[in-house]
Amino acid sequence: MVDRKDIGSWLSGPDTSGLSKYPGERLGLPESGPGSMARAGRRILAICIDWGFALLISNFAFGGNSWATLGVFAVEQILLIGTLGYSIGHRIAGIHVVSLRGGSAGPLAALVRSLLLCLVIPAVIFDPDQRGLHDKALNTILVRM
């Protein structure tokens, strides 16, 4: 005999108990304020500012060579994130890179993260917590200051 329990699961819709209510909830981060997940708007603002600075430096030092711009951008990301935990754009946008293990990302994570960021694809593929593949690969996360 068919019982309501047998068909109730599909009538009530999909199981959403595993989904988080906001980005970063699964990682134990607050929904908003300091320490919360940096949302897309801040991340895009930060990368545009960083690219703008790299373009400006590249135009003056290398005549606007596009590979030089990418190189300046990578060096900025590696040096500043590796030492301070944030780039110029991150600082202006009020976000910084931290390790999920706690503390700053460190120089090696900054190097690999920056190289993956320069490939673009890992940065535009992200999970429900809005972590790009470049952050997932290194267990880093961008949070609000």
Question: Strand, helix or coil at 103?
Answer: coil
Domain span at residue 79 reads 32-144
Domains held by the chain: number: 1
What percentage of residues in the chain have a pLDDT greater than 70?
88
pLDDT digits (tens, 9 = 90+) for 80-107: 999 999 999 999 999 999 998 888 888 9
Is residue 51 assigned to a domain?
A: yes
Q: Is the pLDDT of residue 136 over 90?
A: no
Q: Is the pLDDT of residue 2 over 80?
A: no
For residues 37 and 130, give the distance between their C-alpha atoms in angstroms, rounded to a whole number. Answer: 8
Higher pLDDT, 4 or 45: 45
Is residue 4 assigned to a domain?
A: no
For residues 79 and 98, give the distance between their C-alpha atoms in angstroms, rounded to a whole number. Answer: 15
Q: Name the one residue in this structure whose structure tokens are 């320069």.
A: 118
Is residue 93 assigned to a domain?
A: yes
Is residue 98 assigned to a domain?
A: yes
Is residue 40 assigned to a domain?
A: yes
For residue 127, give the H/E element and its range: none
SS3 for 49-85, per residue?
HHHHHHHHHHHHHHCCCHHHHHHHHHHHHHHHHHHCC
Nearest CA among 65, 1, 43 for reference residue 131: 43
Is residue 23 assigned to a domain?
A: no
